[in-house]
Structure 1
Amino acid sequence: MKNLQTSYLKHQFLIAMPHMADPNFAHTLTYVVEHTANGAMGLVVNRPQDLNLADILEQLQPDIEPPLSAQLVPIYAGGPVQTDRGFVLHTSGPVYQATVELGGVSLSTSQDVLFAIADGAGPAHSLITLGYAGWEAGQLEAEMANNAWLTCPFDATVLFNVESDLRLNAAASRLGVDLRLLTSQAGHA
């Protein structure tokens, strides 16, 4: 019996293939926060919502007027699971109450990072999502085997310095792939 080394995708991008049928993930770029034998968690990083940081702060502190700059900070749809829960991917620097270092990027889930961003004292670069993408044990591996995703090494430049509507193609181009040239038909060669 062969001993197969499982390749986990933590700290990688998942690029949705053009034939992705699931509307939650069609045309998405997802950052994989965690991937183990028990499953995976990721954040979609290219789907801005019709919300901004000021909207979130108004919910958290209804008696305090958020700074005008908070209206310029978009909120992204991070995935279909727990869409009321916030996640902030950001450059390393200050450590907030609930921060995990992921190797070149940090993930915070506490409100203090939101207030710091609003006050202009937060991390140099950040991306705020509501919700996350989750896969049960073996589910992401099965989707990979069915060619639903391409993987790409994480690149903070794509995450923080590329406009959200260009991130998917920017990540694919790092692999030398032009998604416009791929068929939307699923299949195996």
Structure 2
Amino acid sequence: MDQTWQSLKGQFLMAMPGLADPNFYQSVTCLSEHNPKGAMGIVVTRIHPEVNAKMIFDELRLPASAGAIKIPVHIGGPVHMNELFVLHGAPLVWEGSMMITEDLALSNSRDILEAIASGHGPEAFIIALGCAGWGPGQLESEIRSNTWINGPYSEEIAFRIEAERRWEAAMQMIGIDPALLSDTAGHA
């Protein structure tokens, strides 16, 4: 394995302005896995315009609290669009939870969905349909070609501020003013 290779698991991946793909334009993806075999993450900046959590709970026949209709469903990425993923903070004890960091996990088991439906799930969470995925070396190549920039994960950005403000906030967190970025890829 390349000695300079470094995992970005648990970090944010922010789209550079030149990334015109509508799945990722001005997006922030929380990388839940990154190893030499590829990478996977959940886009935290795209709210599904036609689906809310109550619709999902109804389809799964899960009794839901009245507030479930207000829980947005995110478009987690263009891969596995029919699968549900829950990116969440504590508690981290759900069946099949994949630990991302010591404070963040990705789950897609029925028990976490039941808990969220009844209002007893994690305090901080995102329900997403689909995920983002990259094959071996693909993400590294895209970063080298100035498609993405990575930065530290922030619970505040991932879960607390409005989805449409997350990209700008993540860029500012690493000292970049998005208004000053060029949308032309290249290297100096």
Q: TM-score range by the shorter chain?
A: over 0.9
Partner of 2:84: 86
Aligned equivalents of 2:92, 2:100: Cα separation in 1: 14
Aligned equivalents of 1:142, 1:30: Cα separation in 2: 17
Partner of 1:161: 160
Aligned equivalents of 1:8, 1:47: Cα separation in 2: 25
Aligned equivalents of 1:18, 1:35: Cα separation in 2: 23
Partner of 1:26: 25
How far did 1:158 drift?
A: 1.0
Q: Which runs of 4+ in 1 moved over 4 A?
A: none
Aligned equivalents of 1:17, 1:130: Cα separation in 2: 23
Aligned equivalents of 2:133, 2:125: Cα separation in 1: 21
Say if 2:65 and 2:119, in contact at 8 Å, map to a contact too.
no
Which stretch has the larger CA shift, 97-106 or 39-48?
A: 97-106
Aligned equivalents of 2:165, 2:93: Cα separation in 1: 29
How far did 1:187 drift?
A: 1.9
Say if 1:92 and 1:101, in contact at 8 Å, map to a contact too.
no
How far did 1:109 drift?
A: 0.8
1:99 pairs with one of 97, 100, 123: 97
**% same residue:** 41
Say if 1:54 and 1:71, in contact at 8 Å, map to a contact too.
yes
Structure 1 vs Structure 2 CA RMSD: 1.4
Aligned equivalents of 1:133, 1:90: Cα separation in 2: 17
SS where residue 102 of structure 1 aligns? strand
How far did 1:29 drift?
A: 0.4
Aligned equivalents of 2:5, 2:33: Cα separation in 1: 14
TM (norm. structure 1) is 0.93
Aligned equivalents of 1:6, 1:65: Cα separation in 2: 46
Structure 2: gaps (5+ residues): none
Partner of 1:147: 146
Say if 2:29 and 2:43, in contact at 8 Å, map to a contact too.
yes
Matched, 1:119 2:121: no
Partner of 1:14: 13
SS where residue 186 of structure 2 aligns? coil
SS where residue 167 of structure 2 aligns? helix
Say if 2:10 and 2:31, in contact at 8 Å, map to a contact too.
yes
Alignment length, in residue pairs?
185
Say if 2:82 and 2:130, in contact at 8 Å, map to a contact too.
yes
SS where residue 158 of structure 1 aligns? helix
How far did 1:90 drift?
A: 1.0
How far did 1:65 drift?
A: 5.8
Matched, 1:136 2:146: no
How far did 1:42 drift?
A: 0.8
